[in-house]
Amino acid sequence: MSSHRKAPPSCAIVIFGANGDLTKRLIVPALYNLARGGMLPERLALIGVDHNDKTAEQWRDGLRDFLAQTLAKSGESIDDKLWAPIAQDMIFLKGDFEKDETYSRLSQCLQDIDGKKNLGGNVLFYLAVADRFFGTIAGKLGEAGLVRETDGRFRRLIVEKPFGHDLESAKALNACLLRHLKEEQIYRIDHFLGKETVQNIMALRFANGLFEPIWNRDRIDHVQITVAESIGTEGRGNFYEKTGALRDMVPNHLFQLVAMTAMEPPVSFDAEAIRAKKAEMFRAVHPLGLGDVVRGQYDSGLIGGQQVAAYRKEENVAPDSNVETFVAMRLLIDNWRWAGVPFYLRTGKRLAARSTEIAIRFKRAPYALFRETPVEELDADWLILRVQPDESIRLRFNAKRPGPTMALESVAMDFKYKDWFQQAPAVGYETLIYDCLTGDATLFQRADQVEAAWGVVEPVLESWADTPPRHFPNYGAGSEGPTAANDLLARDGRTWRAIK
């Protein structure tokens, strides 16, 4: 993770799935925002590959129209000076991802554009496609010689989640990718790691003498990590029925937040040093039992004053579906820093609010000093890292309320990104794409991380396959999840923070 912004080398970006939602909503807007910050390569070509019948002009104009509509929502219009370096060399190739002919034509296209623009033979391949094509496309690129790095040129591959659906499929995908590419060529992207607050965890811990000395079992009582969504399946019932909340969110998003919070200090900010510490942390996670995990499925209820349907009434969802839309778990890390400190994780759809936060609860101070005062119990101190919707860091601590008696109240100090920094518009992919262009793999998962994370949840998946839930649906839309999730903390004498 570099401390300064260097100009990425000239290259071609090849997007498989060029007409997909990901390309329109995130990749192209991120490239536009990088242009706004002067962080695109000096010479760039954008090549789209998909099965649709389109000309380069139709593809370019369609993306421009979508970007214009997006910018209009915030009162902006497209700046043609920023759009020009993206649009000037956009090529569209119609092709079947499974046919050799597609890759022969792509190879010729890359040669032609490189000869025209002198891109140095550098190519970034982006797999913005359904995960069933990941292995196929990587294999075809390898067979066509398109990922071979020679004469100082780079060939890199961006892979979106999911990285498998269980431990076996994750290992199979990694084996397939590594047959054709070296590990340092593979960038497994998780958009959560593009959030400023998530990246700031390392700065908070390792760049300040205040926090790291108390970042351990001696001072921390427990950690709560919440990724709550108020939306439902948004028409993606077919996907969700095969996936569920655990597969969709835990081995990637939630575990990446755990890793950033719990990893040991690396010897440097070198990508491999950081990724090694993350993998080490996953290997220290205590095996999960069924009693450590709660699952739920939402019923009908009120969200923002509007009645919403139960999960089983959603489009493309089975009327008797046993797929979970909520997961909570109690995680223990068996190492010197965290032994005995539980990490409570929860994620779900149709919850009370959209909120992602890491909340660190410190141990209470001794009560003896306050025995003869009206103070019956001290509130614990909290450090709350809010990832979305409003990126911020809050420290809650006890202070004396004005007056003649020793009455304490929990107060807060807040740091909000929007108040302190001038933040450029962003969709969350800018840093990640920029890092791919410059070859910085710090924020990307390595094969051993992926497999270690799946290894943690594999016993749960196997147990759930043998024991279908008996009481679905078990929480109302607009609530904070099933009561069993509260019991998970209550048996340890703790409670969840409110979702808001």
What are the Cα distances from residue 295, in Å, to 198, 328, 362, 380, 458?
26, 7, 28, 29, 15
User: Could you count the other beta carbons within 10 Å of the beta carbon of residue 290?
Assistant: 11
CA 334 and chain centroid, separation: 25
Using an 8 Å Cβ cutoff, are 249 and 347 in contact? yes
Of 144, 136, 83, the closest CA to residue 109 belongs to: 144
H/E/C letters for each residue in 362-422? ECCCCCHHHCCCCCCCCCCCEEEEEEECCCEEEEEEEEECCCCCCCEEEEEEEEEHHHHCC
Q: What residues pair up with 393 in beta bridges, in sequence order?
A: 385, 415
Token representation of residue 141: 């690129």
CA distance 39 to 37: 5
**Does the annotation mark 253 as catalytic?**
yes
Conformation bin of residue 428: beta by default, left when phi > 0, alpha when psi is -120 to 50 = left
Residue identified by tokens 């092709």 is: 95
User: Which residue's structure tokens are 């990901």?
Assistant: 22
| H-run or E-run covering 306 | strand 306-308
Q: Which of 466, 449, 454, 484 is nearest to 292 (CA)?
A: 484
Side-chain half-sphere CA neighbours of 231 within 13 A: 6
Given the residues 51, 253, 286, 471, the one annotated as active site: 253
Alpha helices in 118-266 (DSSP H): 134-143, 167-180, 196-206, 237-249, 255-262
Tokens at residue 271, please?
């990508």
In contact, 230 and 303? CB cutoff 8 Å = yes
Query: What residues are annotated to the active site?
Result: 253
